Structure 1
Amino acid sequence: MNISKYIDYTLLKSTATEREIIDLCYEAKKNNYYAVCVNSSYVALAKQLLLGTSIKVCTVVGFPLGAMTTQAKVYEAKKAIEDGASEIDMVINLGFLKSKNYVSVLKDITDVKLAIGNTPLKVILEISEISKNEVIKACEICLDTRADFIKTSSGFTKSGATLTAIKIIKKTVKDEVKIVASGGINDIETALKFIDAGVHRINTSVELKAESVSV
C-alpha cells in the first residue's frame, strides 16, 4: 500500500508564514500527497505553488469554532473556490447540535454544500466535544445533506481522531460518506491503523517522508 494519496498535508496555525506555506507545498510535491490544507488567506498562494501537479488545495471555513453564521461560511467557501480551492472543510455548529436544533445544523451544512456545488465538502464534527449519540446524530445529518466526507476534528481541541469514533462513524454512514481521520496522527503506524479501520483520508501536519510512505 502507498499511503501518500491518503494524506491531506496541513498547516492551519494562525502564525503560519508565507515561507512555511511555501515549504508545505514543496514537501507535498516531494512526497506526492493528495492535498494540502491551508487557511483561506493562503489558498491563492498554494494554488500557484502547486500548478502543474495533481495535488489539491483544501481550505477550512467556519474555522475552528463553527459558531459563525451560515452566511459567513457560505461566503468564505465561495471566495475560497474563486481563489483556487479544490475542497472545503467546514466546522459543524456544535452549539446547535448540543441544543438539539437539528434543523439549523442541517441548514448550515446544506447551504454550504449547495453554494459550492460539485466541490467536495468535508464536515468537521470535533469528536472530543460531543457524545457518542451526538456523533451518530451529526453523521445522520451529514447523510441527509449529501456531504462528501465526515472529518473527526479540527486539531484545535483537546484530542483528535480515535479508532472508536471511526468505528461509530463507519457504522452509521456505511459507505455513503467518506471519512477523514484528523488530529494526532503523527506517524506511519498510526496512519495505517486508521486506514485499516476504513478511513479514506488522513489529515496530518507532520511530514510523512516519501521513503517511509510505501509499505
Structure 2
Amino acid sequence: MLEEIRIQNFAIIDRLELTFDTGFNVITGETGAGKSIIIDAVDLLLGGKADGSFVRAGADKAVVEGTFALNKTVRAQVLPILKREELEGESDDYVTLAREVKSNGRSTIRINGVTANADVLKSVAILLVDVHGQSEHLSLLNPKSHIDLLDRYAELTEMRLALGALVDKVNTNRREIKRMTEDEAALKRRVDQLKREVEEIDIAELVSGEEDTLRAE
C-alpha cells in the first residue's frame, strides 16, 4: 500500500506530504482544491507520461516521491525485479519510487534512490497500485494481469516464482550447452583448416632459403 507521498512544485502544489493509514482513506475538498492533481502526481509516479506543464510556475522541476509498504504476496513479486535490476532498498518491506520532471519535459526515474528506466518502473508499479476512475484502464480488463489475479487467489505466487527461477536456470543451462557445442564445432573447423594448410605446405616441398635462391635467379 501507499504509505506516504511527497509532492513538490507539481502544478499548483508548492509542497505537500501525505501519510496514509491502513484501510480506507478519503481525500475531500472543494472543486479546484487540488484533489485531481494528487491523482495526477500518483499517475506520474507510477510511470505516467511526463510533461513540462506539470512543473509549477517559477520552478525548475517537479518532484513526486512515494513510499510503498509491501505485503507478503506483493513482496514475492517485486523483490525479484528489484534484485534483477540491482535496485534493492535498505528494507525488503518497503520500496520508494520517485519522479523528477524538468520544465523542458525531461524526467528522471529513481527506485530506492537508484536511477531506473520507465519499463522497470512500470513493471514494479503495476504490482503496487491499481488506479480506478471513469476513464482509467482497470487491471481486471488487462489479460496480462489475469494469471497474477488467479495465482494470488490460489496463494500460488511464491510457487510460481520458484518455478520461474527453475525455468530460468534450465534456459541458462541450455544456452551454455549451445554455446559450448558451437565452440566445439568452431574448434573442429579450425583444426580441419590447419590440417589442410599443413598438407599444402608438405605438398609444396618448401626448402629453407628457397625464396632467396629464386630472387637471385
Instruction: Please say whether Structure 1 and Structure 2 have the same fold, judged by a TM-score greater than 0.5.
Output: no
Q: How would you bin the TM-score normalised by the shorter chain?
A: under 0.3
Q: TM-score, normalised by structure 1?
A: 0.22
Higher relative contact order (CA 8 A, sep 6+): 1
Q: TM-score, normalised by structure 2?
A: 0.22
